[in-house]
Amino acid sequence: MNNKWAYSYQEGDGKNKQLLGGKGANLCEITQIGLNVPPGFVISTDACLNYLAQPEHQLPEGVMAQTREQMAMLETATGKRFGSATDPLLVSVRSGSAMSMPGMMDTILNLGLNSQTLMGLIAHTRNERFGYDSYRRFIQLFGKVALGVPDELFDEQFDAVKKNVGAESDVGLQAADLKDISERFLAVVRHHTGRPFPEDPYEQLEIAIKAVFNSWSGKRAVDYRREFHITSDMANGTAVNVVTMVFGNMGNDCATGVGFTRNPATGENMLYGEYLTNAQGEDVVAGIRTPKPLQEMAQEMPSLYTQLLDLRNKLERHYCEIQDFEFTIEKGVLYCLQTRNGKMNASAMVRTSVEMAHEGLISEEQALLRVNPQHLEQMLYPRLDPKFKGTPLATGLPASPGAASGQVVFDADRAEALGKQGLKVILVREETKPEDIHGFFAAQGILTSRGGKTSHAAVVARGMGKPCVAGAEGIHVEVQLRKAFVGGTVIKEGDVITLDGTSGSIYLGAVPKVEADFSDELITLLGWADKAARLKVMANADTPNDAARALKYGAMGIGLCRTERMFNAAERLPIVIDMIVADTAEQRQAALDKLLPIQRADFKEVFKTMSPRPVTVRLLDPPIHEFLPSEQQLVDELEQLRHLRLSVQGMEVLVETAKLLAGSNGEPLPSSVHELGDTRLVDSVITRKEQILKKVRALREVNPMLGHRGVRLGITFPEIYTMQIRAVLEAAADCTKAGIPVSPEIMVPQVCTAEELKHVKKLVQSVHQQVEATFGVKVSYQFGSMMEVVRACMRAESLAAEAEFFSFGTNDLTQATFSFSREDAENKFLPMYNEREILQDNPFEVLDVKGVGRLMGLAVGWGRSTHPTLKVGICGEHGGHPASIRFCDEIGLNYVSCSGPRVPIARLAAAHAQILLGKEKAVTDKAV
């Protein structure tokens, strides 16, 4: 067999991380560009996989022979000999796979020391302290990693000696102490393994190589790969690096440290890192002494600091990416021992990418691709101060990102009342309902003890960009008592808590926060994104407030304005209920007449805010019973009222008596007692509730999501849609008259046949004529259809003949395509489907490209066959997810629409989609 297993740093391919591991490949690369790396070589990941595949774990043939050849080259390069009793070569044996897995696998330093080579090392360096320092380190690391001796056994001995001699840290130990420690360590190994410490250097080397290979399949590493989803495509096996030792522990003119070419916390363009003098290896990270900031080296070792800056510049110029590197200084010479791309938080990533593009190190396109769209989420919401280290009181599901603190309140009215006083509140409920909406507006954040990531609370909070922790089952909420219980802790109304909707944690008290960071660099980067992208990014925004915020995030219009949210406001709901319970068309019209000016004013605000961008208004969609209280609630309330009435009747007698008594004295009664005693008031409330209950019962549907809703309502109650259409067009006419350019779009929900569209279109046309005549201005608008019913997709060509645009409502379309009702699916069987890999993802979170996506693609094609300029978009939560956005680009949509705070993520994702599509096209073009 002539397999090649070992590659010297001079010959290894710096691009081949799969074969050589990240550490090995980069060490090859920087050796070859002339940086000062101690001579070394890599044994490949292939050797590792081969080794682990053998039943008895045997090194494949040739590995040790090639290792000896490579060692001979190290001997030539250094002029030292491995195992020499006069000037011994020592090496480190280090792990390193294609993906960085910090601290998961093992490294051994100072290998090659034994009782004889130690004497040689001491004689050659004339430094006894250094010799024993290296020896004790080697015995400990080798003992731990290769022989399985528990670290504590060594630490005990180390501390005992330190205590004996009264040393504070390792620097206080003399040669004799370190010698004592080495001897104790040898005894520990002998005692624990039942055998003496291996003396033969090549035996040591072979054992060490095997130990590193074994660490790949160790529990720690396996757990880590599972946790971080590192698959075998990404990294398979670890390589072994054998590197000539250089010594940072030879005295005070020696040091070891780690550096970042730029500050990884802020992105600032300045060398950042720490070092320790007279130290080795992991001392800096292990925290045995407090390391010094690298800038101090400018005074302490000025010429070396200059060398370090030079190393930094060369690394960055070569990789054009922030590097995280290790170095050691031995007697005035600087060596680089490792480099890799630096991990950074999102704002540092954005800043360094934009600055590197400005510096000409990378292109705008590269800068864009470097930032993961999803990571922007970190920057767009306030978050807990990373320095905060408290333990959460409880945890729930991270349902809407961001962090917020405030006083606990247990109902929406209270939230609104305190909010109006300018107080910060957190709304805490078992679960929330549409009628709690005013509480959402007033609250900083929402906490529920029941419900999932798609519960009402979660969906609404995400739409508003407010933090939400949902389904925190450890919390028991007692709304009546105005208290919540968590184990032994009681939270009363008014207590301050902090929510972290990004992690799902809940803390007592106000935890310090870092504000959202819409930096100049982010604005620049998103500007580049808009240039690169083809898709337009719109926002879902229901209120003038939402619209203003969406604009701040760079929305290019509103892709979905749900009119029902406007109906839910506290002062409007009674009018909406009047409209619903009306028995005659006249009664209904009276209620609608009251709603018209309210809706018109809302639309006007939204149009003005977004001018001249398009605003897509969706006509009423949900089944109307959703605006009414539930049957159970009404039944309970009526029962209470009837009780009340009885006691009021009792009161009435009292009042009559009081009247008689008072009358004899000739004094007037307080009017409130009059009112209280008046049963007519209670009667009228009872009558109204009975009327509503009757309506609720009449409207009851077996399957409301598939029932009387959307355009079906518009056709059975044309006066509702007419009012909404009028509100849109009159608002547009008003704006136009005032010189504000607007682009209203009217969108019909739940359409399944072209006839429905034609029907509503007629309404629109007739209202449009009237409005233009009344206002005396031209009003332009577009008319379009939601695509959320399978039949609509199948009939896309005939629908397209009636519409200027389509908008895929992928939440409903997913339900319809799978015949799953979302809540039932997510609560009952989807988790198991995912676990058993019957379905890869939750199709309500990740667009099902193969099924729902295919239907969309077909519908786009069919629609454009009759209407080539048909505009097509997507609204619904998928519209904000990078993978779905990529797909929308591929099937030729014109825009995506998502919640306001996700707009920046979508803008970047849209740019990625175009750039990557372009790259793929370039590859296929070449292949053709």
Binding residues (CB under 5 A) for Mg ion: these are 338, 788, 809, 812
Does 235 sit near ligand ADP (CB under 6 A)?
Answer: no
Q: Which does 809 bind (CB under 5 to 8 A by kind): ligand ADP, Mg ion, none?
A: Mg ion
859 forms bridges with which residues in the sheet? none
Interacting residue with ligand ADP among 180, 326, 355, 416 (CB under 6 A): 326
38 binds, options Mg ion, ligand ADP, none, Cβ within 5 to 8 A by partner type: ligand ADP
Q: Is 110 in the site for ligand ADP (CB under 6 A)?
A: no
Count of beta carbons in the 10 Å neighbourhood of residue 846: 14
Q: How far is the CB of 530 from ligand ADP (least distance, A)?
A: 40
CB 733 → Mg ion: shortest distance, Å?
29
- Assess contact for 230 and 237: CB atoms under 8 A: no
Burial (0-12, 13-18, 19+ Cβ within 10 Å), 630: exposed
- The least CB distance from residue 340 to Mg ion, in Å, is 8
- Closest approach, Cβ 276 to ligand ADP, in A, equals 10
Nearer to ligand ADP, 246 or 348 (CB): 246
Reduce the DSSP state of residue 275 to 3 states and report it.
Answer: strand
Q: Does 31 contact ligand ADP by CB under 6 A?
A: no
Q: Decide if residue 17 touches ligand ADP (CB under 6 A).
A: no
Q: How far is the CB of 62 from ligand ADP (least distance, A)?
A: 24
Closest CA to 874 of 814, 798, 797, 787: 787
Beta partners for residue 496, in sequence order: 407
Minimum gap (Å) between residue 93 Cβ and Mg ion: 13
In whole angstroms, how close is the CB of 338 to ligand ADP at the nearest point? 5
The partner in contact with residue 94, picked from Mg ion, ligand ADP, none with C-beta cut-offs of 5 to 8 angstroms by kind, is: ligand ADP
Local structure of residue 825 (DSSP, 8 states): I
Among 245, 380, 655, 793, interactor with ligand ADP by CB under 6 A: 245
Rounded Cα distance, 12 and 42, in Å: 8
**Contact status, residue 452 vs residue 459, Cβ threshold 8 Å:** no
Minimum CB distance to ligand ADP, residue 849 (Å): 38
**From 26-34, 103-111, 288-296, 504-512, span contacting ligand ADP (CB under 6 A):** 103-111
**Residue with nearest beta carbon to Mg ion:** 812
The item of ligand ADP, Mg ion, none sharing an interface with residue 477, based on CB under 5 to 8 Å by kind, is: none
Q: How many CA atoms lie within 13 A of 37 on its CB side?
A: 28
Q: Which residues pair with 395 in a beta bridge?
A: 505
Q: Give the nearer residue to Mg ion in terms of CB position, either 102 or 918.
A: 102
* # residues contacting ligand ADP (CB under 6 A): 16
Q: Could you say which of 27, 337, 591, 896 contacts ligand ADP (CB under 6 A)? A: 337
Which residue in the set 33, 57, 86, 103 belongs to the binding site for ligand ADP (CB under 6 A)? 103
Instruction: Verify binding: residue 107, ligand ADP, rule CB under 6 A.
Output: yes
Q: Which is nearer to ligand ADP, 244 or 448 (CB)?
A: 244
Three-class SS of residue 229?
coil
- x/- letters, 272..291, toward ligand ADP (CB under 6 A): ---------xx---------
Closer residue to Mg ion (CB): 92 or 338: 338
Under rule CB under 6 A, residue 109 binds ligand ADP = yes
Provide the residue type at 671 as one letter. Answer: S
Which residues are known catalytic residues? 456, 875
Task: State the binding partner of 812 from ligand ADP, Mg ion, none, CB within 5 to 8 A by kind.
Answer: Mg ion
Q: Which of 50, 70, 92, 815 is close enough to bind ligand ADP by CB under 6 A?
A: 92
Closest distance to ligand ADP from the beta carbon of 826 (Å) = 41
Among 249, 328, 405, 736, binds ligand ADP (CB under 6 A): 328
Q: Name which of 39 and 257 has its Cβ closer to Mg ion.
A: 257
Q: Is the dihedral of CA 303, 309, 315, 317 positive or negative?
A: negative
Beta bridge partners of 470: 397
Is residue 211 near ligand ADP by the rule CB under 6 A?
no
Residue among 62, 920, 907, 877 at smallest CA distance from 523: 907
Residues near 558 by beta carbon (within 8 Å), at least 6 away in sequence: 538, 539, 540, 541, 547, 550, 606, 610, 613, 614, 615, 616, 897
Complex with ligand ADP: residue 216 or 528, whichever CB lies closer: 216
Which residue type, as a one-letter code, is found at position 359?
E
Min CB(703)–Mg ion separation in Å: 15
Question: Applying CB under 6 A, does 38 fall inside the site for ligand ADP?
Answer: yes
Does the protein bind ligand ADP through residue 338 (CB under 6 A)? yes
Encoding tokens for residue 361?
């190190």
> Rounded to the nearest 5 degrees, what angle is found at the Cα of 657, between the Cα atoms of 654 and 658?
85
3-state secondary structure of 754: helix
Tell the burial category of 685 from Cβ atoms under 10 Å away from its Cβ (0-12, 13-18, 19+). middle
Q: Which of 779, 678, 665, 691 is nearest to 728 (CA)?
A: 779
CB 732 within 8 A of CB 774: no
- Confirm if 238 and 48 have CB atoms less than 8 A apart: yes
The nearest distance, CB 308 to ligand ADP, in angstroms, is 14
Which residues sit opposite 500 in a β-bridge? Answer: 403, 505
Cβ neighbour number for residue 254 with a 10 Å cutoff: 23
Near ligand ADP by CB under 6 A, which window of 244-252, 580-588, 858-866, 886-894? 244-252
Q: Pick between residue 117 and residue 524 the one whose CB is nearest to ligand ADP.
A: 117
CB nearer Mg ion, residue 88 or residue 463: 463
Residue 720 contact partner, candidates ligand ADP, Mg ion, none, CB within 5 to 8 A by sort of partner = none
If contact means CB under 5 to 8 A according to the sort of partner, which of ligand ADP, Mg ion, none does residue 246 touch? ligand ADP
Half-sphere CA count of 700, side-chain side, radius 13 A: 9
Rounded Cα distance between 456 and 465, Å, is 14
Q: Where would I find the beta strands (DSSP E) of 263-422?
A: 272-277, 292-293, 323-330, 333-341, 383-384, 394-395, 397-400, 403-409
CA trace torsion 402, 403, 408, 411 (10° rounding): -10
Answer whether 304's CB lies under 8 Å from 224's CB: no
**Selected range binding ligand ADP among 243-251, 450-458, 518-526, 682-690, rule: CB under 6 A:** 243-251
- 798 with 787: CB under 8 angstroms? no
Instruction: Considering the complex, state which of residue 201 and residue 419 has its C-beta at the smaller distance from ligand ADP.
Output: 201
Alpha-carbon distance of 47 to 53, in angstroms, equals 10
Closer by beta carbon to Mg ion, 564 or else 719: 564
- Cβ nearer to ligand ADP, comparing 109 with 903: 109
Q: What residue ranges bind ligand ADP (CB under 6 A)?
A: 38, 92, 94, 103, 107, 109, 243-246, 281-282, 326, 328, 337-338
